[in-house]
Structure formats: structure tokens, C-alpha cells
Amino acid sequence: MNRWGLLPDNVLEQLRTREWLNTENLRGRLSGDRPFPIRIALKAPTGAQALADLEHFLRFIESWKRWPNQSQVDWQIKKFQQLGEQTLPVAVQIESMSALIAVLGSKAEVRKQRWEQLMRPLLNLDARLSSVLIRQLSVLESMAPDDSALLAQLLPQLRRGMGQGAYLRALPLKGVDTKFVENYQGLIEALADRLHEGEVTEQGGLSNWLACIANPSGWLLVRPLCRQSRERLAGLPIMQMDTRTLQNHVLPAGRILVVENKQSGYALPKLDDTIAVFGGGRNTAWMDAEWLKQKSIAYWGDIDSWGLTILSDARRRQPHLQALMMDEDTLLEHRKRMVEEECPQGKLPEYLTEAERQLFERLQSRYYEKTRLEQERLAPDYIRTCLLGWHSL
């Protein structure tokens, strides 16, 4: 493309890329945050530039004479020393969204008609929803027309507190399935917030406004390591609990052993008065539980940057916990089994002991050549000895 003299195809491509296919810019035009007109300078040439490429100069003028809507083209008279007086196109100006769509052609028109089809049921419900629909344009365009009608059927049914402490999927709705509510929860939240004058946001989101409890998440495995603890858990040898359940229900043992990875949790030996919670990876949120303050807690994870980071986060929540098998002695005992950590994190965790900080820094500097010792690679007899040592304290 020449450095001067934009042709209609150049301008159309610019409009298509910057205004039509750029979702953020398009939303701004539709909402008025980026007001019309759109004015694009056509880079009219100097006399020297025109003389250097007369063919392009003539094509530049003639192509803009063929522009369908001449009222959009700004023509100005220029006087050149050698070419004399010439009337040149200097800019094209698009005054409105309808003008932009007309310029861009049939595909843009089809897209506009789809917007209208999707928005119509919702705007018939309440015209104030227009601004929300524009902000949520990407979500709206992903919907089927039937979904838009279903959304208009749903919104009048939503009332503050209607969930009465049940899950979102248990909402008492008519003609609308609750999977639909989950699939479009963000859009529904924004629309309901507009309809109810900001109440939804004030209550902390749709679930809170409806008085629904959050779906279980952050699942961990719970395994009693002795007969007594197992009996207190209805004889179950292993179970899954979500983060909220663990936060709110005391596990019936004096000792809680937290293990980063699932496979290592399966390999644990029997330990009196002990329950293992394992397989949560980076999920330590459950360790905010008040009841943990009364327990003896040990944490065991990988010796790498992320394992030490998780240990730090666990200790932030429960400062009295004891780290097991996450020290230099353990690493040196199994050094030949070390591997490379694929995506290490470089920030020094805040709640490590001095020895743990030194270990973290040495791993970062490749002091041990390799950067990771997986907990699964520790010898079973070594694990048993360390666990019994903690248990005897």
C-alpha cells in the first residue's frame, strides 16, 4: 500500500478491522462512548508525491469519484506548482452506525439483523436493557434466537431471596431450565441488576441476591488413617469433600495430615488419631477453617517452587502447621530422583522458615542441578519414618 492516497478498499479494510471486528470499539460506537462521526484522512499527496507516481494519483482521484455516497467524501481544491489546480479527496466521514453498516455491505447488514432479532424480546421487556446488551454483545451473539426469548421469559421470574438457601439449579422456575441459568449466569446477572436498579451488585452478585448457595467446588479427598477415625466417619474408608464442607465440618481426629497430591495420599500408612486431606494441589482455602486451630497439622508436598509456595500459603492460614519431608535433608536423600520443574514461579513465598527460604533460593539458582523432587519419588520407608516421627511428637 502506498504511503499516500488511501483507496476505497484501504478505507473499507480499516473500517472493518478497527470498527466492526474490534468488539471493544464496536461496543463503544453502539453505546455512544465512542461517538460518531468516524473520520478517516485519505492522505492526499503533495505535488512531489503526485508527480512521482501519476498513475496512483489518477487512480486515487477516480476511485473516490466512484464512492457510492459522495456526501461522505470531503473534496478540497489544491493548487500544485506543476499540476495546477486539482480537486482531491482528503477524508471520508461516516456519520452513524447505519451508515457504517451500509458502507460495509451485506455481511454487516446480516449481523445487524441478527442483533435486532436477539435483542427484540429483551427490549420489549424493558428498553433500559439496551446498554447491558451492548456491553454483553459477544455473549449475546453466541446465543440462539430461542435462547433470547427464553431469557426474556426468565427475567421477570427472578426475585430477591427466591432461592431460599438452595443451589442455583434448584430455583423454582417455570418454563426455563436451570442449566440455562448457569450457562448465561453472567449475562443474567447484568440484566437483572439493570432491571432492579443495582440491587444485584449491591448484594454481591446473582447467587447472593437470589439467596442461593454456591455450587460445591475445590474438591479434596478425605481418608481416615485409623480405625477410630474411620468409625467416626460412618465407616467410610475414603470420601470427597468440597472446600466449604471442610471449612464448616470438624474432622474427627486430633491430627490432620495435608498432602498436596492425590497419589501420595493413597500411599499413606496407618496412623492413630489421624485423618489425611489430600489431592487439593494449590487449594488451601479450606484451611481457613476455625476448627483446624485446635488440631495438630502437618503439610507434605513436592519440593519445588510451587510446592513451597503452597506450603507458605497453608502456613499463612494455619501458622502452627509443621512441614514434613520438604527440607534439604529429604532432597539430598533422594537427589538422584530429581527432575526439572516445567513452569516454576519465581517470587519468594512470604511464610517460609529461613531453611525453607534457602531451599527455595537454591532450587531457583539450580544449586542441586535439577529443580524438582516430586513427593511420589520418596522411598516408602523414608515416608513412614518421617510420619511416625511427627506422630510421636
Q: What integer pLDDT is reported at residue 214 of this predicted model?
A: 86
pTM given for the model: 0.71
C-alpha cell at 102: 451500509
Q: What integer pLDDT is reported at residue 70 of this predicted model?
A: 95
Q: Counting Cβ atoms within 10 Å, is residue 11 exposed (0-12), middle (13-18) or buried (19+)?
A: buried
Residues 212, 246: Cα–Cα separation, whole Å:
19
Is residue 323 within 8 A of residue 298, CB to CB? The reply is yes
Query: Up-side HSE of residue 24: CA atoms within 13 Å toward CB?
Result: 0
Q: Which CATH class is domain 220-391?
A: alpha beta
Is residue 229 within 8 A of residue 250, CB to CB? The reply is no
Q: CA-CA distances (angstroms) from residue 124 to 27, 129, 250, 332, 356?
A: 21, 9, 52, 71, 63
Where exactly are the structural domains of the chain? Answer: 8-104, 106-210, 220-391
Residues 155, 189: Cα–Cα separation, whole Å:
10
Q: What is the pLDDT of residues 78-93, one digit of tens each?
A: 888 778 888 999 999 9
pLDDT tens-place values along the chain, 393 residues long? 568 999 999 999 999 999 999 999 999 999 999 999 999 999 999 888 888 889 999 999 999 999 999 999 999 998 887 788 889 999 999 999 999 999 999 999 999 999 999 999 999 999 999 999 999 999 999 999 899 999 999 999 999 999 999 999 999 999 999 899 999 999 999 999 999 999 999 999 999 999 999 888 999 999 999 999 999 999 999 999 999 999 999 999 999 999 999 999 999 999 999 999 999 999 999 999 999 999 999 999 999 999 999 999 999 999 999 999 999 999 999 999 999 999 999 999 999 999 999 999 999 999 999 999 999 999 999 999 999 999 987
Residue located via cell numbers 512470604: 350
Residues 139, 133: Cα–Cα separation, whole Å:
9
Helix (H, G, I), strand (E, B) or coil at 379: coil
Residues 113, 96: Cα–Cα separation, whole Å:
16
Q: What integer pLDDT is reported at residue 1 of this predicted model?
A: 58
Residue located via cell numbers 481544491: 77
Is residue 68 within 8 A of residue 75, CB to CB? The reply is no
Between vectors from CA 229 to CA 228 and to CA 230, what angle results, nearest 5°? 90
